[in-house]
A and B are shown apart, each in its own frame.
Chain A
Amino acid sequence: MGNVKRSPWLLHYDGSSCNGCDIEVLACLTPVYDAERFGIINTGDPMQADIFLITGGINKSNQEVVRQLYEQMPRPKVVVAVGVCACTGGVFKECYNIIGGADTTIPVDIYVPGCAARPQAIIDGIVKAIDLWQEKANNPEYVHAMYESHEEKEEKEEKEGNK
Protein backbone atom coordinates (compact mmCIF):
# COMPACT_ATOMS: atom_id res chain seq x y z
CA MET A 1 0.00 0.00 0.00
CA GLY A 2 2.88 2.34 -0.61
CA ASN A 3 5.18 3.95 1.86
CA VAL A 4 3.15 5.59 4.60
CA LYS A 5 5.99 5.79 7.08
CA ARG A 6 6.87 9.39 6.46
CA SER A 7 3.63 10.95 7.56
CA PRO A 8 2.35 9.66 10.91
CA TRP A 9 -0.38 11.82 12.38
CA LEU A 10 -1.00 11.52 16.08
CA LEU A 11 -4.18 11.71 18.04
CA HIS A 12 -3.45 12.53 21.66
CA TYR A 13 -6.07 11.71 24.26
CA ASP A 14 -5.72 12.45 27.95
CA GLY A 15 -7.49 9.81 30.03
CA SER A 16 -7.38 10.23 33.79
CA SER A 17 -3.74 11.23 33.91
CA CYS A 18 -2.11 13.71 36.29
CA ASN A 19 -1.16 15.79 33.21
CA GLY A 20 2.52 14.98 33.69
CA CYS A 21 2.66 12.72 30.66
CA ASP A 22 0.64 15.16 28.54
CA ILE A 23 3.18 17.87 29.13
CA GLU A 24 5.91 15.45 28.07
CA VAL A 25 3.96 14.62 24.90
CA LEU A 26 3.72 18.29 24.07
CA ALA A 27 7.42 18.69 24.87
CA CYS A 28 8.13 16.35 21.94
CA LEU A 29 6.83 19.04 19.58
CA THR A 30 9.02 21.84 20.92
CA PRO A 31 12.20 22.96 19.12
CA VAL A 32 14.37 20.73 21.37
CA TYR A 33 12.86 17.44 20.16
CA ASP A 34 10.93 18.70 17.09
CA ALA A 35 8.84 15.65 16.28
CA GLU A 36 7.55 17.41 13.16
CA ARG A 37 10.83 16.69 11.38
CA PHE A 38 9.62 13.09 11.01
CA GLY A 39 6.43 14.38 9.46
CA ILE A 40 4.53 13.92 12.71
CA ILE A 41 1.53 16.14 13.18
CA ASN A 42 -0.33 16.29 16.46
CA THR A 43 -3.83 16.37 15.03
CA GLY A 44 -6.94 16.56 17.15
CA ASP A 45 -9.12 14.73 14.68
CA PRO A 46 -9.58 10.94 15.03
CA MET A 47 -10.92 10.63 11.48
CA GLN A 48 -7.55 11.67 10.09
CA ALA A 49 -5.22 10.20 12.70
CA ASP A 50 -2.89 7.20 12.38
CA ILE A 51 -1.38 6.74 15.82
CA PHE A 52 -3.47 6.96 18.95
CA LEU A 53 -1.39 8.26 21.85
CA ILE A 54 -3.17 7.72 25.12
CA THR A 55 -1.98 8.98 28.49
CA GLY A 56 -3.56 8.18 31.84
CA GLY A 57 -5.77 5.30 32.86
CA ILE A 58 -9.30 4.47 31.88
CA ASN A 59 -12.08 5.48 34.24
CA LYS A 60 -15.77 4.77 34.12
CA SER A 61 -16.75 7.98 32.39
CA ASN A 62 -14.06 8.13 29.71
CA GLN A 63 -14.21 4.48 28.69
CA GLU A 64 -16.87 5.11 26.06
CA VAL A 65 -15.00 8.14 24.74
CA VAL A 66 -11.79 6.17 24.29
CA ARG A 67 -13.63 3.36 22.56
CA GLN A 68 -15.36 5.79 20.23
CA LEU A 69 -12.15 7.62 19.37
CA TYR A 70 -10.52 4.31 18.52
CA GLU A 71 -13.40 3.26 16.32
CA GLN A 72 -13.46 6.56 14.46
CA MET A 73 -9.86 6.19 13.33
CA PRO A 74 -9.45 4.80 9.81
CA ARG A 75 -7.18 1.75 9.47
CA PRO A 76 -4.22 1.23 9.51
CA LYS A 77 -3.94 2.47 13.07
CA VAL A 78 -1.66 1.88 16.04
CA VAL A 79 -2.25 2.55 19.73
CA VAL A 80 0.55 3.74 21.99
CA ALA A 81 0.02 3.85 25.76
CA VAL A 82 2.25 6.54 27.29
CA GLY A 83 3.15 6.43 30.98
CA VAL A 84 2.51 3.74 33.56
CA CYS A 85 -1.01 5.04 34.11
CA ALA A 86 -1.96 4.21 30.54
CA CYS A 87 -0.05 0.93 30.71
CA THR A 88 -1.54 -0.49 33.89
CA GLY A 89 -3.43 2.20 35.81
CA GLY A 90 -0.26 3.24 37.63
CA VAL A 91 -0.55 5.17 40.88
CA PHE A 92 -4.29 5.50 40.40
CA LYS A 93 -4.81 1.77 39.95
CA GLU A 94 -6.61 1.22 43.25
CA CYS A 95 -8.93 4.21 42.94
CA TYR A 96 -12.65 3.45 43.07
CA ASN A 97 -13.32 4.91 39.62
CA ILE A 98 -10.36 3.51 37.70
CA ILE A 99 -10.84 0.48 35.50
CA GLY A 100 -7.16 0.08 34.63
CA GLY A 101 -4.76 0.69 31.75
CA ALA A 102 -5.77 1.56 28.20
CA ASP A 103 -5.69 -2.12 27.23
CA THR A 104 -8.81 -2.77 29.30
CA THR A 105 -10.79 -0.93 26.64
CA ILE A 106 -8.91 -0.94 23.33
CA PRO A 107 -6.11 -3.09 21.91
CA VAL A 108 -2.77 -1.44 22.77
CA ASP A 109 0.21 -2.10 20.49
CA ILE A 110 3.08 -0.27 22.17
CA TYR A 111 3.65 0.44 25.86
CA VAL A 112 5.88 3.36 26.88
CA PRO A 113 6.65 3.10 30.60
CA GLY A 114 7.78 5.91 32.89
CA CYS A 115 6.23 8.30 35.34
CA ALA A 116 6.26 10.63 33.62
CA ALA A 117 7.48 9.06 30.37
CA ARG A 118 10.40 11.08 29.07
CA PRO A 119 10.18 12.74 25.63
CA GLN A 120 13.03 10.49 24.43
CA ALA A 121 11.04 7.43 25.47
CA ILE A 122 7.89 8.76 23.85
CA ILE A 123 9.69 9.43 20.56
CA ASP A 124 11.21 5.92 20.80
CA GLY A 125 7.72 4.52 21.26
CA ILE A 126 6.40 6.48 18.31
CA VAL A 127 9.25 5.30 16.10
CA LYS A 128 8.39 1.69 17.04
CA ALA A 129 4.74 2.45 16.38
CA ILE A 130 5.58 3.81 12.93
CA ASP A 131 7.27 0.54 11.94
CA LEU A 132 4.31 -1.45 13.13
CA TRP A 133 1.99 0.92 11.32
CA GLN A 134 3.85 0.44 8.05
CA GLU A 135 3.61 -3.30 8.55
CA LYS A 136 -0.13 -3.03 9.00
CA ALA A 137 -0.43 -0.75 5.99
CA ASN A 138 1.27 -3.39 3.83
CA ASN A 139 -1.70 -5.65 4.35
CA PRO A 140 -4.54 -4.31 2.19
CA GLU A 141 -6.94 -6.96 3.42
CA TYR A 142 -6.68 -5.54 6.90
CA VAL A 143 -6.89 -1.90 5.77
CA HIS A 144 -9.96 -2.23 3.64
CA ALA A 145 -11.79 -4.95 5.56
CA MET A 146 -15.27 -4.09 6.73
CA TYR A 147 -14.69 -5.23 10.30
CA GLU A 148 -11.89 -5.19 12.81
CA SER A 149 -12.11 -8.87 13.77
CA HIS A 150 -14.37 -11.86 13.53
CA GLU A 151 -15.90 -11.10 16.94
CA GLU A 152 -16.66 -7.54 15.97
CA LYS A 153 -18.30 -8.70 12.79
CA GLU A 154 -20.63 -10.99 14.67
CA GLU A 155 -21.37 -8.31 17.24
CA LYS A 156 -22.26 -5.76 14.59
CA GLU A 157 -24.42 -8.16 12.64
CA GLU A 158 -26.25 -9.02 15.82
CA LYS A 159 -26.85 -5.34 16.53
CA GLU A 160 -28.15 -4.71 13.04
CA GLY A 161 -30.36 -7.74 13.25
CA ASN A 162 -31.92 -6.42 16.43
CA LYS A 163 -32.77 -3.05 14.91
Chain B
Amino acid sequence: MTYRVIGIVAFLILAPFLGGLLSGIDRKISARMQGRIGPSIFQPFYDVQKLLSKQFIVVNYAQIFLVVSFLATIIVTGMMFFGGSDILLCFFLLSTGATFLIFAACITNSPYSNIGASRELFQMLCYEPAVLLACIGFYLATGSFNVSDIIQADLPAIIKTPGFFVAFVFILTIKLRKSPFDLSASHHPHQELVKGITTDMGARTLALYEIAEWYEHVFLMGFVGLFFIWKNPWSYLLAVVAVLATYFLEILIDNTSARVKWHTMFKLAWGVTILVAGVNLIILMVMA
Protein backbone atom coordinates (compact mmCIF):
# COMPACT_ATOMS: atom_id res chain seq x y z
CA MET B 1 0.00 0.00 0.00
CA THR B 2 2.72 2.47 0.97
CA TYR B 3 4.52 1.64 -2.27
CA ARG B 4 1.43 2.61 -4.19
CA VAL B 5 1.15 5.94 -2.44
CA ILE B 6 4.84 6.62 -2.98
CA GLY B 7 4.44 5.78 -6.67
CA ILE B 8 1.45 8.08 -7.08
CA VAL B 9 2.99 11.02 -5.24
CA ALA B 10 6.34 10.58 -6.97
CA PHE B 11 4.65 10.61 -10.35
CA LEU B 12 2.58 13.65 -9.53
CA ILE B 13 5.60 15.67 -8.43
CA LEU B 14 8.53 14.31 -10.41
CA ALA B 15 6.92 13.56 -13.78
CA PRO B 16 6.81 17.16 -15.03
CA PHE B 17 10.50 17.60 -14.22
CA LEU B 18 11.49 14.30 -15.82
CA GLY B 19 9.26 14.90 -18.82
CA GLY B 20 10.55 18.42 -19.36
CA LEU B 21 14.13 17.29 -18.97
CA LEU B 22 13.52 14.45 -21.42
CA SER B 23 12.21 16.86 -24.01
CA GLY B 24 15.09 19.26 -23.35
CA ILE B 25 17.61 16.46 -23.86
CA ASP B 26 15.70 15.52 -26.99
CA ARG B 27 16.14 19.03 -28.41
CA LYS B 28 19.80 19.11 -27.46
CA ILE B 29 20.60 15.75 -29.04
CA SER B 30 18.58 16.63 -32.14
CA ALA B 31 20.57 19.86 -32.51
CA ARG B 32 23.87 18.00 -32.13
CA MET B 33 22.76 15.49 -34.75
CA GLN B 34 22.16 18.42 -37.10
CA GLY B 35 25.56 19.95 -36.34
CA ARG B 36 24.18 22.77 -34.19
CA ILE B 37 24.88 23.69 -30.58
CA GLY B 38 21.25 23.65 -29.60
CA PRO B 39 19.38 25.18 -26.66
CA SER B 40 20.00 24.40 -23.02
CA ILE B 41 18.44 21.18 -21.75
CA PHE B 42 16.24 23.27 -19.46
CA GLN B 43 14.77 25.10 -22.44
CA PRO B 44 11.30 23.46 -22.16
CA PHE B 45 10.98 24.87 -18.62
CA TYR B 46 11.95 28.35 -19.80
CA ASP B 47 9.39 28.05 -22.59
CA VAL B 48 6.56 27.05 -20.28
CA GLN B 49 7.48 29.70 -17.73
CA LYS B 50 7.35 32.32 -20.46
CA LEU B 51 4.11 31.01 -21.96
CA LEU B 52 2.45 31.20 -18.56
CA SER B 53 3.46 34.84 -18.11
CA LYS B 54 1.98 36.01 -21.40
CA GLN B 55 -1.26 37.86 -21.87
CA PHE B 56 -4.29 35.61 -21.68
CA ILE B 57 -5.96 35.20 -25.05
CA VAL B 58 -8.41 32.55 -26.06
CA VAL B 59 -10.37 31.75 -29.20
CA ASN B 60 -13.06 29.69 -27.56
CA TYR B 61 -13.58 29.36 -23.81
CA ALA B 62 -14.62 25.71 -24.12
CA GLN B 63 -11.11 25.02 -25.35
CA ILE B 64 -9.65 25.77 -21.92
CA PHE B 65 -12.02 23.32 -20.30
CA LEU B 66 -11.05 20.65 -22.82
CA VAL B 67 -7.31 21.22 -22.45
CA VAL B 68 -7.59 21.16 -18.65
CA SER B 69 -9.54 17.89 -18.92
CA PHE B 70 -6.82 16.54 -21.19
CA LEU B 71 -4.20 17.41 -18.60
CA ALA B 72 -6.27 15.95 -15.76
CA THR B 73 -6.96 12.62 -17.49
CA ILE B 74 -3.31 12.21 -18.38
CA ILE B 75 -2.28 12.87 -14.78
CA VAL B 76 -4.83 10.37 -13.50
CA THR B 77 -3.64 7.81 -16.05
CA GLY B 78 -0.07 8.12 -14.86
CA MET B 79 -1.11 8.04 -11.20
CA MET B 80 -3.01 4.81 -11.80
CA PHE B 81 -0.08 3.28 -13.62
CA PHE B 82 2.53 4.20 -11.03
CA GLY B 83 0.07 3.30 -8.29
CA GLY B 84 0.17 -0.28 -9.60
CA SER B 85 -3.29 -0.53 -11.10
CA ASP B 86 -4.70 -2.06 -14.30
CA ILE B 87 -2.81 -1.25 -17.53
CA LEU B 88 -5.85 -1.74 -19.74
CA LEU B 89 -7.72 0.86 -17.72
CA CYS B 90 -4.73 3.21 -17.97
CA PHE B 91 -4.77 3.09 -21.75
CA PHE B 92 -8.55 3.54 -21.91
CA LEU B 93 -8.14 6.68 -19.83
CA LEU B 94 -5.28 7.83 -22.03
CA SER B 95 -7.50 7.50 -25.10
CA THR B 96 -10.16 9.56 -23.33
CA GLY B 97 -7.54 12.23 -22.76
CA ALA B 98 -6.59 12.13 -26.43
CA THR B 99 -10.24 12.62 -27.33
CA PHE B 100 -10.40 15.76 -25.19
CA LEU B 101 -7.40 17.08 -27.09
CA ILE B 102 -9.05 16.32 -30.42
CA PHE B 103 -12.18 18.20 -29.33
CA ALA B 104 -10.04 21.10 -28.17
CA ALA B 105 -8.53 21.29 -31.65
CA CYS B 106 -11.72 20.98 -33.70
CA ILE B 107 -13.76 23.35 -31.57
CA THR B 108 -12.06 26.36 -33.18
CA ASN B 109 -12.51 27.61 -36.73
CA SER B 110 -8.91 27.40 -37.85
CA PRO B 111 -8.54 24.94 -40.76
CA TYR B 112 -5.03 24.05 -39.58
CA SER B 113 -6.25 22.98 -36.23
CA ASN B 114 -9.19 21.09 -37.76
CA ILE B 115 -6.93 19.15 -40.11
CA GLY B 116 -4.65 18.48 -37.15
CA ALA B 117 -7.60 17.08 -35.19
CA SER B 118 -8.72 14.73 -37.95
CA ARG B 119 -5.17 13.52 -38.44
CA GLU B 120 -4.87 12.93 -34.71
CA LEU B 121 -7.98 10.74 -34.85
CA PHE B 122 -6.40 8.80 -37.64
CA GLN B 123 -3.21 8.39 -35.66
CA MET B 124 -5.23 6.92 -32.82
CA LEU B 125 -6.63 4.39 -35.24
CA CYS B 126 -3.08 3.44 -36.18
CA TYR B 127 -1.63 3.00 -32.70
CA GLU B 128 -4.50 1.61 -30.65
CA PRO B 129 -4.20 -2.04 -31.87
CA ALA B 130 -0.54 -2.24 -30.87
CA VAL B 131 -1.31 -0.71 -27.47
CA LEU B 132 -4.12 -3.16 -26.75
CA LEU B 133 -2.03 -6.10 -27.94
CA ALA B 134 0.83 -5.00 -25.65
CA CYS B 135 -1.57 -5.13 -22.68
CA ILE B 136 -2.75 -8.60 -23.75
CA GLY B 137 0.89 -9.61 -24.08
CA PHE B 138 1.49 -8.67 -20.46
CA TYR B 139 -1.51 -10.72 -19.42
CA LEU B 140 -0.35 -13.80 -21.31
CA ALA B 141 3.21 -13.46 -20.03
CA THR B 142 2.47 -12.78 -16.36
CA GLY B 143 -1.17 -13.75 -15.86
CA SER B 144 -2.32 -10.31 -14.77
CA PHE B 145 -3.18 -6.87 -16.07
CA ASN B 146 -2.17 -5.23 -12.81
CA VAL B 147 1.14 -3.40 -12.69
CA SER B 148 1.61 -4.45 -9.06
CA ASP B 149 1.47 -8.15 -10.11
CA ILE B 150 3.52 -7.69 -13.27
CA ILE B 151 6.48 -6.27 -11.36
CA GLN B 152 6.38 -9.28 -9.02
CA ALA B 153 6.68 -11.82 -11.85
CA ASP B 154 9.44 -14.45 -11.84
CA LEU B 155 10.75 -13.45 -15.25
CA PRO B 156 10.72 -10.11 -17.08
CA ALA B 157 7.85 -9.83 -19.53
CA ILE B 158 10.19 -9.02 -22.41
CA ILE B 159 11.36 -12.67 -22.59
CA LYS B 160 7.93 -13.82 -23.64
CA THR B 161 6.78 -10.65 -25.39
CA PRO B 162 9.57 -9.34 -27.64
CA GLY B 163 7.12 -9.00 -30.55
CA PHE B 164 4.70 -6.88 -28.53
CA PHE B 165 7.62 -4.72 -27.41
CA VAL B 166 8.79 -4.09 -30.98
CA ALA B 167 5.26 -3.20 -32.07
CA PHE B 168 4.85 -0.86 -29.09
CA VAL B 169 8.14 0.92 -29.74
CA PHE B 170 7.12 1.28 -33.36
CA ILE B 171 3.86 3.03 -32.53
CA LEU B 172 5.63 5.04 -29.84
CA THR B 173 6.96 7.13 -32.72
CA ILE B 174 3.36 8.13 -33.44
CA LYS B 175 2.56 8.69 -29.78
CA LEU B 176 5.61 10.88 -29.17
CA ARG B 177 4.79 12.90 -32.31
CA LYS B 178 8.07 12.14 -33.99
CA SER B 179 8.91 12.21 -37.66
CA PRO B 180 8.06 10.22 -39.89
CA PHE B 181 4.67 10.02 -38.16
CA ASP B 182 4.22 13.57 -36.85
CA LEU B 183 1.17 14.12 -39.02
CA SER B 184 -1.14 15.87 -36.61
CA ALA B 185 1.21 18.30 -34.91
CA SER B 186 3.81 18.85 -37.59
CA HIS B 187 6.64 18.68 -35.09
CA HIS B 188 8.56 21.55 -36.62
CA PRO B 189 6.50 24.71 -36.35
CA HIS B 190 7.18 25.94 -39.84
CA GLN B 191 5.63 23.08 -41.73
CA GLU B 192 2.37 23.09 -43.64
CA LEU B 193 0.13 22.69 -40.59
CA VAL B 194 1.73 25.34 -38.35
CA LYS B 195 1.76 22.70 -35.58
CA GLY B 196 -1.75 21.56 -36.47
CA ILE B 197 -3.44 20.52 -33.30
CA THR B 198 -2.11 23.41 -31.21
CA THR B 199 -2.46 26.18 -33.80
CA ASP B 200 -5.38 27.92 -32.18
CA MET B 201 -4.20 27.63 -28.60
CA GLY B 202 -3.19 30.86 -26.93
CA ALA B 203 0.13 31.04 -25.11
CA ARG B 204 -1.21 30.01 -21.72
CA THR B 205 -3.31 27.15 -23.03
CA LEU B 206 -0.26 25.91 -24.89
CA ALA B 207 1.65 25.81 -21.59
CA LEU B 208 -0.97 23.44 -20.13
CA TYR B 209 -0.73 21.29 -23.24
CA GLU B 210 3.06 21.11 -22.91
CA ILE B 211 2.81 20.04 -19.27
CA ALA B 212 0.29 17.36 -20.22
CA GLU B 213 2.71 16.09 -22.86
CA TRP B 214 5.44 15.79 -20.23
CA TYR B 215 3.21 13.69 -18.01
CA GLU B 216 2.20 11.57 -20.97
CA HIS B 217 5.78 10.95 -22.04
CA VAL B 218 6.76 9.83 -18.55
CA PHE B 219 3.80 7.47 -18.44
CA LEU B 220 4.68 5.99 -21.86
CA MET B 221 8.30 5.58 -20.85
CA GLY B 222 7.14 3.88 -17.66
CA PHE B 223 5.22 1.43 -19.80
CA VAL B 224 8.34 0.73 -21.86
CA GLY B 225 10.23 0.10 -18.64
CA LEU B 226 7.54 -2.30 -17.41
CA PHE B 227 8.66 -4.81 -20.03
CA PHE B 228 11.99 -5.17 -18.25
CA ILE B 229 10.94 -5.36 -14.62
CA TRP B 230 10.64 -8.51 -12.56
CA LYS B 231 11.09 -9.53 -8.90
CA ASN B 232 14.76 -8.60 -8.86
CA PRO B 233 15.25 -5.03 -7.55
CA TRP B 234 18.17 -4.53 -9.95
CA SER B 235 15.74 -4.86 -12.83
CA TYR B 236 14.68 -1.25 -12.23
CA LEU B 237 18.13 -0.18 -13.33
CA LEU B 238 17.79 -2.30 -16.44
CA ALA B 239 14.41 -0.68 -17.10
CA VAL B 240 15.91 2.82 -16.88
CA VAL B 241 18.65 1.85 -19.34
CA ALA B 242 16.06 0.35 -21.68
CA VAL B 243 13.91 3.47 -21.48
CA LEU B 244 16.83 5.76 -22.28
CA ALA B 245 17.90 3.53 -25.19
CA THR B 246 14.34 3.54 -26.56
CA TYR B 247 14.12 7.30 -26.30
CA PHE B 248 17.45 7.71 -28.06
CA LEU B 249 16.23 5.42 -30.83
CA GLU B 250 13.15 7.59 -31.24
CA ILE B 251 15.29 10.73 -31.52
CA LEU B 252 17.46 9.00 -34.10
CA ILE B 253 14.42 7.96 -36.15
CA ASP B 254 13.05 11.49 -35.81
CA ASN B 255 16.19 13.04 -37.25
CA THR B 256 16.83 10.58 -40.04
CA SER B 257 13.42 10.24 -41.64
CA ALA B 258 11.07 12.43 -43.62
CA ARG B 259 7.35 12.64 -42.98
CA VAL B 260 5.21 9.98 -44.68
CA LYS B 261 1.61 10.21 -45.85
CA TRP B 262 -1.19 8.73 -43.79
CA HIS B 263 -1.56 5.73 -46.13
CA THR B 264 2.01 4.70 -45.46
CA MET B 265 1.65 5.31 -41.73
CA PHE B 266 -1.49 3.18 -41.61
CA LYS B 267 0.02 0.32 -43.60
CA LEU B 268 3.27 0.36 -41.65
CA ALA B 269 1.70 0.63 -38.20
CA TRP B 270 -0.89 -2.08 -38.76
CA GLY B 271 1.54 -4.20 -40.76
CA VAL B 272 4.15 -4.22 -38.00
CA THR B 273 1.50 -4.72 -35.33
CA ILE B 274 -0.14 -7.67 -37.05
CA LEU B 275 3.11 -9.27 -38.14
CA VAL B 276 5.29 -8.93 -35.06
CA ALA B 277 2.80 -8.69 -32.22
CA GLY B 278 0.36 -11.07 -33.95
CA VAL B 279 2.96 -13.80 -34.41
CA ASN B 280 4.06 -13.34 -30.81
CA LEU B 281 0.45 -13.63 -29.70
CA ILE B 282 -0.07 -16.87 -31.63
CA ILE B 283 3.11 -18.38 -30.19
CA LEU B 284 2.08 -17.48 -26.63
CA MET B 285 -1.41 -18.87 -27.16
CA VAL B 286 -0.06 -22.13 -28.60
CA MET B 287 2.42 -22.47 -25.75
CA ALA B 288 -0.30 -21.92 -23.20
A residues within 8 Å of B by Cβ? 1-4, 6-7, 9, 31, 34, 36-39, 41-45, 47-48, 50, 72, 74-76, 137, 143-144
Pair A47/B57 contact, Cβ less than 8 Å = yes
Please encode chain B, from 192 to 234, with 1 for each CB lying within 8 Å of some chain A CB and 0 for all others. Answer: 0011001111110010000000000000000000000000000
Partner of B39, one of A37, A76, A144: A37
Name the distance in Å between B31's Cβ and chain A's nearest Cβ. Answer: 6
Contacts of A47 in B (CB 8 A): 57, 59, 199-203
B residues within 8 Å of A by Cβ? 27, 31, 34-40, 43, 46-47, 49-51, 53-57, 59, 189-190, 194-195, 198-203, 206
Partner of B36, one of A4, A37, A39, A76: A37
Majority SS at the chain A contact face: loop
Q: How many A-B residue pairs have CB under 8 A?
A: 90
Q: How far is the CA of A31 from the CA of B35 in the complex (A)?
A: 6
Pair A7/B57 contact, Cβ less than 8 Å = no
Beta-carbon nearest neighbor of B207 in chain A: A48
Pair A48/B201 contact, Cβ less than 8 Å = yes
Contacts of B49 in A (CB 8 A): 2-4, 7
Query: Given A39-B43, A42-B190, A45-B195, A75 and B38 touching (CB < 8 A)?
Result: no
Pair A31/B34 contact, Cβ less than 8 Å = yes
Partner of A76, one of B27, B54, B202: B54
Name the distance in Å between B54's Cβ and chain A's nearest Cβ. Answer: 4
Beta-carbon nearest neighbor of B31 in chain A: A36
Name the distance in Å between B169's Cβ and chain A's nearest Cβ. Answer: 28
Beta-carbon nearest neighbor of A26 in chain B: B190
Name the distance in Å between A92's Cβ and chain B's nearest Cβ. Answer: 25
Best-buried of A31, A45, A72 by chain B (most CB within 10 Å): A45
Pair A143/B189 contact, Cβ less than 8 Å = no
Pair A143/B31 contact, Cβ less than 8 Å = no
Pair A36/B36 contact, Cβ less than 8 Å = yes
Q: How far is the CA of A51 from the CA of B93 in the complex (A)?
A: 38
Apart from A31-B36, A36-B39, A45-B198, list 15 A-B contacts with CB within 8 A. A4-B50, A7-B47, A7-B49, A31-B35, A34-B36, A36-B27, A39-B46, A43-B190, A43-B195, A47-B59, A48-B198, A72-B57, A75-B54, A143-B54, A143-B55
